[in-house]
Amino acid sequence: MDWPGITDADFRGACAKHDMCYERGSDLPKCDDQLSWDLAAECLESFPGKGATYAACLTHRDNMMALVRLADWRPWN
């Protein structure tokens, strides 16, 4: 049996929107907040039952967001 995994969520669209937000020179924290919402929406769309895989997807989102926010503190920004 092929079980769904967090990699079944397609975050490419959310990431592309986030990149475009940064490229426009928008408020970076607002771009990041929108990315977080978009990733959560993708988790819900991919795993509508809100079971363990949905929770794992949200944890993956949280980890990704921690890295995104850490990158915002680069000294060259």
Q: pLDDT averaged over the chain?
A: 85
Report how far residue 28's alpha carbon sits from residue 62's, in angstroms, rounded to the nearest whole number: 17
Report how far residue 47's alpha carbon sits from residue 5's, in angstroms, rounded to the nearest whole number: 9
pTM metric for this prediction = 0.84
Grade residue 50 by pLDDT with cuts at 50, 70 and 90.
confident
| pLDDT at position 49 | 82
